[in-house]
């Protein structure tokens, strides 16, 4: 029997890269997957090849009404939410001269998607998980959520904020049977984000499926599972595999 048979999993940023790979793996493990991102055509392309039921609901994580609609459509179609994967995000933006040259617009563009968007989806999904007394929230983070790097202040700040949000979600959800954890690939991944890298740097880049095994293990957790933790994919596989 597939690990996630008939589970309902929402994946944000599902149209490409890490999100697409996780969607395909969740479906292969028997889950019914809700795909959301801004590009409806790409989402439909991904959904067309899935072996299980799926639902495409385009949304921009910056739009609270659109986020609420994803949750509403999911419940109308499938009746519950077992796992929320907050994967949508934007890449680090190099800031010449560091923080002193970051504009308000640049700062807000990164924080709005990488942190506030996660908050919006989590806020909308949690009440339904609480009612079910079970659920898993998986926030896709970065090694830069546990350390810092000069020149990418907005991105680093967004990921440190995400780590704090993950822990808060875990603390509040624990009594309701909801686990919340952060997962990162453990390095740069072969996605559009890093397409600009020179060939010598791309030699060490990871495949988009690097997190799939860990994501399935996290989504398969029962209430009272591991919660409030942040690790890369390899560490999660060792912990839960």
Query: What is the widest separation between alpha-carbon atoms in the chain?
Result: 55
Binning pLDDT at 50, 70 and 90, where does residue 131 land?
very high
Asked if 43 and 58 touch (Cβ cutoff 8 Å), the reply is yes
| 218, two tokens | 């996290």
Binning pLDDT at 50, 70 and 90, where does residue 123 land?
very high
Q: What is the pLDDT of residue 204?
A: 56
Strands 83-86 and 135-140, by their bridges, are: parallel
Q: What is the mean pLDDT of the segment spanning 60-72?
A: 99
| 68, two tokens | 């609420």
Class of domain 8-240: alpha beta
Q: What is the pLDDT of residue 93?
A: 64
DSSP-assigned letters across all residues of 106-145: HHHHHHIIIIIHHHHHHHHHHHHHHHHT-EEEEEE--GGG
Cα first-last separation, the chain:
17
Q: What is the pLDDT of residue 189?
A: 54
Whether the per-residue pLDDT at 199 is higher than 70: the answer is no
Lowest-confidence segment of 73-87, 115-129, 181-195, 216-230 by average pLDDT: 181-195
Percent of the chain with pLDDT over 90: 77
Beta bridge partners of 33: 9, 54
Binning pLDDT at 50, 70 and 90, where does residue 92 land?
low
Active site residue 155: yes
Give the CA distances from residue 107 to residues 66, 99, 118, 166, in Å, rounded to whole numbers and listed in that order: 22, 9, 16, 21
Strands 178-184 and 54-56, by their bridges, are: unpaired
Q: Which residue has the higher pLDDT, 148 or 160?
A: 160
Q: What is the mean pLDDT of the chain?
A: 91
Q: What is the pLDDT of residue 186?
A: 78
Enumerate residues 6+ apart whose C-beta is below 8 A from 119.
165
Residue among 29, 35, 31, 33 at smallest CA distance from 16: 35
Q: What is the pLDDT of residue 187?
A: 65
Whether the per-residue pLDDT at 200 is higher than 90: the answer is no
Q: What is the pLDDT of residue 209?
A: 85
Catalytic residue among 26, 121, 155, 160: 155
């Amino acid at each position: 029997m597939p690990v996630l048979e008939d589970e309902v999993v929402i994946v944000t940023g599902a149209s490409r890269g890490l999100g697409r790979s996780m969607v395909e793996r969740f479906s292969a493990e028997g889950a019914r997957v809700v795909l959301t991102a801004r590009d409806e055509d790409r989402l439909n392309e991904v959904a067309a090849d899935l072996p299980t039921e799926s639902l495409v609901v385009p949304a921009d994580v910056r739009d609270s009404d659109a986020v609420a609609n994803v949750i509403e459509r999911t419940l109308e179609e499938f009746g519950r939410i077992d796992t929320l994967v907050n994967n949508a995000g934007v890449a680090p933006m190099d800031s010449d001269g560091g923080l002193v040259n970051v504009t308000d617009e640049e700062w807000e563009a990164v924080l709005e998607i990488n942190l506030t968007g996660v908050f919006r989806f989590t806020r909308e999904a949690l009440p339904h998980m609480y009612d079910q007394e079970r659920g898993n929230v998986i926030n896709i983070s970065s090694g830069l959520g546990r350390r810092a790097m000069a020149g990418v202040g907005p991105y680093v700040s967004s990921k440190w904020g995400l780590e704090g949000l993950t822990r808060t979600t875990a603390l509040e959800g624990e009594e309701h049977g909801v686990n919340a954890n952060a997962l990162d690939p453990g390095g740069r991944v072969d996605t559009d984000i890093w397409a600009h890298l020179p060939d010598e740097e791309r030699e060490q880049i990871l495949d988009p499926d690097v997190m799939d095994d860990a994501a399935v293990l996290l989504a398969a957790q029962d209430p009272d599972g591991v919660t409030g933790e942040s690790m890369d994919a390899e560490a999660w596989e060792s912990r839960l595999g």
